[in-house]
Structure 1
């Protein structure tokens, strides 16, 4: 029998202060989200009186009813879902495909390509050249402006390339002995064992696509092609404009809904989907990279 050594007083004090500090950080991080949530579920007119800190004082779903009754918001939400799904699939596949080529140590000019790509991570042409390029490519007021300009990321390529270089050579060699070419090796060998990095890049780019509002502001004038975050930006920036009138026009709840309550409800609607998606991808972050894929 081995007796456990008793903890010293200093260790107890350190652990206590450490736990209290972490609780404080969690509270400071989560309370603003909770504050938005409870005010979104509170009656709009009552919320204007203030004093709501922990629970809704007058619970109401009218704010969300006004949000979902607005066809503009629903159109923006549908477009955001479409561009997020399509953008993630295209970005992950294209970047992984290029990264697989870069991961080959026998790639001619590979070091030069990596140097040129690294330069693009540090320097960029700026907003005006980017706008002129998008205009000349005829992608203004075009859905593909959300997909093609961000189809490739050199930063994500480095993550993919590092991962691919750690895949045992025995996997590819076995596939090539069976007659597989580069495409078959990439699609049926490399990608299936790369789920952790695929899920990570998919989450990163999915969050970017979902939260991107700047593209809709700069390159899109058609309101039917503006994503939900651009719509939310317009709501926040023009809280007293016709957007608020449109959001509640013709509704029986105009007396209990305010511009501020519409803002908060819209923020909740636009944030929750990406929050719910995270737990389904998190499990891939902690998986071993090559568990069971090759026997030693």
Structure 2
């Protein structure tokens, strides 16, 4: 067995120690938020709650799920993420497939226009005016239509489609398959890794977006939970939220409410964060292959 030099051992130890500290610094804030969400609010305000709940309770989550607005917000977020991800990936993939065709008239011009939009945007006010003129204000479709096409994702799709053997499409055309048939029956089934990777990135973007609803949505039934969480963090609706719940359903300690702003915020944060985190393990195996697609040479 080859002996490892002392200097190499020190280097390896230093690398592992650095990675452990880096992982801990990234994971601990999330873990502490989870711990606080399961801890009694008044006890948390005393400080010292770090790795484990000191006074375990589910009262914070009861408050969250008893409020109809937060439940509706969660449903809106889930619906937006599912519909928005599927539609965006499908539309972007169709556009990318069309851009791989060398006989497409004006293909280079279209590509220049697409890339131009990656660097220059119309701005918030013109975008707002366009959305309003399209009648998308206070509509669920304001979450979907403006984000149907991602130029960056289109370029990655296009690069991946170019790596597919030309003989596959030629064989399908000989068998009488149309372009739509080739796309749905041949190209998409072979694009699992890139679809999974870009689909996850798109889903995370939809799930985490709180800014767009704060501008285009005034109907409380269409506000996603992320925007509500932002409002809670700004302390805009904490008092209204706690007062809207029957006081008999809130546990009391020495005649005082056990719920605090911090504990309620952490519980809402967990409800808004855990669902999207649970998706990662199911698509992890596609990441290594999927994230390298855009680095392939054309």
**TM-score when normalising by structure 1:** 0.93
Runs of 4+ in 1 over 3 A off after TM superposition: 247-250, 286-289
State the 1:107 CA deviation: 2.1
* CA offset digits 1:227-282 (Å, max 9, x no partner): 01011111111255423433565523362111211100000011000000111111
Which residue pairs with 2:295 in the alignment?
Answer: none
Which residue pairs with 1:262 in the alignment?
Answer: 264
Say whether the 8 Å CA contact 2:88–2:149 is kept in structure 1. yes
Alignment of 1:157-172 (within 5 A): 157-172=154-169
Q: Secondary structure at the match of 2:105?
A: coil
* CA offset digits 1:182-231 (Å, max 9, x no partner): 00000000000000001111100100111110111000011111001011
- Whether 1:110 aligns to 2:112 is no
Which residue pairs with 1:205 in the alignment?
Answer: 202
Question: Unmatched 5+ residue regions in structure 2?
Answer: 292-298
- 2:243 aligns with one of 245, 249, 252: 245
State the 1:170 CA deviation: 1.5
* CA offset digits 1:78-99 (Å, max 9, x no partner): 1111111000110000000000
Which residue pairs with 2:136 in the alignment?
Answer: 139
Say whether the 8 Å CA contact 1:235–1:244 is kept in structure 2. no
Say whether the 8 Å CA contact 1:92–1:201 is kept in structure 2. yes
Q: Secondary structure at the match of 2:158?
A: helix
Question: Unmatched 5+ residue regions in structure 1?
Answer: 290-296
Which residue pairs with 1:85 in the alignment?
Answer: 82
**For the residues of structure 2 that align with 1:181 and 1:247, how far apart are their CA atoms?**
58
Say whether the 8 Å CA contact 1:38–1:55 is kept in structure 2. yes
RMSD of equivalent CA atoms = 1.6
- The 10-residue stretch of structure 1 (112-121 or 102-111) with the greater mean CA deviation from structure 2: 102-111
Which residue pairs with 2:125 in the alignment?
Answer: 128
Say whether the 8 Å CA contact 1:244–1:259 is kept in structure 2. no
* CA offset digits 1:20-44 (Å, max 9, x no partner): 0000100100000011010000001
- Whether 1:217 aligns to 2:214 is yes
